[in-house]
C-alpha cells in the first residue's frame, strides 16, 4: 500500500518568505508527527497530532512555525517569515494508533533551503 | 534530561567484516526502542522495535538486542548495500502518546 508522502520534495525560499509543507499520512493512521532534521543529526520532534487535534507542539522552535491537520488526515506545516536557520529536512511520520510500541512510518522529507 | 547516545558516529567496514553499533539511553518510562535505517535523501526506514531487556530481533544480516541501558545493532558479514545511517530512537509514554527521541545516528560505510 501507499506510504507517507510529502510535497514538495525540495523548496528554496528567500529569507522572509512564507512556506507550506504538505504531508499525506498512511490512510487510516491516527497519529501524525512532524520532525526537523539538520544535516548529520537525528530527527528532532516538532509537533504531534492525534486525528485533527494537535496534542503537543512543544518542539516548534518559534511562533513562526504553525501546523494543522483539519480533517484528521493531510497535514500542513507552515513556516512564516523564513530565516536561514530554518534550512533543514522536514520529516513527517504517521502511526496507526497512539499506544505504546506503535511504529512510526516516515515520508521522504521536504528539504528546505532558505537563502 | 532524557538522552540517547549512539556510537560510533561513523564506521567503515570491509565487506564481510562483522561489527556492532551501540545505542545507550538514559530515560525513564521506556516503552520501546526503535532502529531505523536512513539512506541519503530519504526518510528513515523502520527496522526493529524492542520492548524489554533481553529481547532480540533479526532481519537478514541485522540483529538487534536490548538491555536496561543500551541496545546493540549487530551486522553480520555486511555488504555494500548495508551502507546507510542507522538511527536509534526511544519511545516514552508522554501524555498518553508515543513521543520518540532520536539519537544522532551511526553512518556505516561498507567497502567492497
How much is the pLDDT for B100? 86
Under DSSP, the state recorded for A96 is S
Note whether B95 contacts A: Cβ–Cβ < 8 A: yes
pLDDT tens profile A31-43: 999 999 999 999 9
Place of cell 493531510: A74
Residue B42 in this model has a pLDDT that exceeds 60: yes
Identify the closest residue of chain A to B42 by CA–CA distance: A108
Calpha distance B61→B13 (Å, rounded)? 14
How much is the pLDDT for A97? 79
Note whether A33 contacts B: Cβ–Cβ < 8 A: yes
Interface test with B, best of A55, A100, A110, A111 (most B CBs within 10 A): A100
Could you tell me the end-to-end alpha-carbon distance of chain A, in angstroms, rounded to an integer? 37
Calpha distance B31→B52 (Å, rounded)? 8
pLDDT band with cut points at 50, 70 and 90 for residue B94:
low
Region B60-69 average pLDDT:
94
Q: From residue A76, give the alpha-carbon distance in Å to each of A13, A36, A48, B56, B101.
A: 17, 14, 12, 37, 22
Give the residues across from B107 on adjacent strands.
B10, B85
Note whether A68 contacts B: Cβ–Cβ < 8 A: no
- Which residues in A50-76 are b (16+ Cβ under 10 Å) and which e? beeebebeebbeeeebbbebeeebebe
pLDDT band with cut points at 50, 70 and 90 for residue B1:
low
Calpha distance B6→B71 (Å, rounded)? 9
Q: For residue A75, give the C-alpha cell.
A: 497535514
Residue A86 in 3-state DSSP? Answer: helix
How much is the pLDDT for A99? 65
How much is the pLDDT for B14? 97
User: To 10 degrees, the CA torsion angle through A49, B100, B51, B62?
Assistant: 120
Residue B12 in 3-state DSSP? Answer: strand
- Residues of chain A neighbouring B105 (CB-CB closer than 8 A): 41-42
pLDDT tens profile A56-112: 999 999 999 999 999 999 999 999 999 999 999 999 999 997 766 678 999 999 999
**Which one, of A90, A89, A96, A87, lies nearest residue A77 by Cα?**
A90
pLDDT tens profile B3-39: 899 999 999 999 999 999 999 998 777 888 999 999 9
Residue B96 in this model has a pLDDT that exceeds 80: no
Query: Greatest CA span in chain A, whole angstroms?
Result: 41
Size of interface A-B (CB pairs under 8 A): 71
How much is the pLDDT for B31? 83
pLDDT tens profile A3-24: 999 999 999 999 999 999 999 9
Residue B93 in this model has a pLDDT that exceeds 80: no
Amino acid at each position: 500500500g501507499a506510504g507517507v508522502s510529502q510535497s514538495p520534495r525540495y523548496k528554496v525560499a528567500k529569507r522572509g518568505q512564507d512556506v507550506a509543507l504538505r504531508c499525506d499520512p498512511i490512510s487510516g493512521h491516527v497519529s501524525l508527527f512532524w520532525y526537523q532534521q539538520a544535516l548529520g543529526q537525528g530527527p528532532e520532534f516538532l509537533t504531534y497530532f492525534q486525528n485533527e487535534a494537535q496534542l503537543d507542539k512543544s518542539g516548534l522552535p518559534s511562533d513562526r512555525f504553525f501546523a494543522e491537520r483539519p480533517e484528521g488526515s493531510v497535514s500542513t506545516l507552515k513556516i512564516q517569515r523564513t530565516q536561514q536557520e530554518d534550512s533543514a529536512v522536514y520529516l513527517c511520520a504517521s502511526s496507526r494508533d497512539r499506544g505504546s510500541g506503535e511504529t512510526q512510518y516516515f515520508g521522504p522529507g521536504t528539504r528546505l533551503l532558505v537563502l | 534530561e532524557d538522552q540517547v547516545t549512539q556510537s560510533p558516529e561513523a564506521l567503515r567496514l570491509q565487506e564481510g567484516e562483522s561489527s556492532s553499533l551501540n545505542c545507550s539511553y538514559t530515560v525513564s518510562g521506556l516503552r520501546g526502542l526503535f532502529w531505523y535505517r536512513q539512506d541519503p535523501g530519504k526518510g528513515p526506514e523502520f527496522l526493529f522495535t524492542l520492548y524489554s531487556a533481553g529481547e532480540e530481533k533479526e532481519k537478514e544480516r541485522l540483529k538487534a538486542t536490548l538491555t536496561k541501558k543500551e541496545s546493540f545493532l549487530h551486522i553480520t558479514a555486511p555488504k555494500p548495500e548495508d551502507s546507510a545511517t542507522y538511527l536509534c530512537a526511544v519511545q516514552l509514554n508522554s501524555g498518553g502518546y508515543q513521543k520518540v527521541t532520536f539519537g544522532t545516528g551511526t553512518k556505516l560505510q561498507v567497502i567492497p
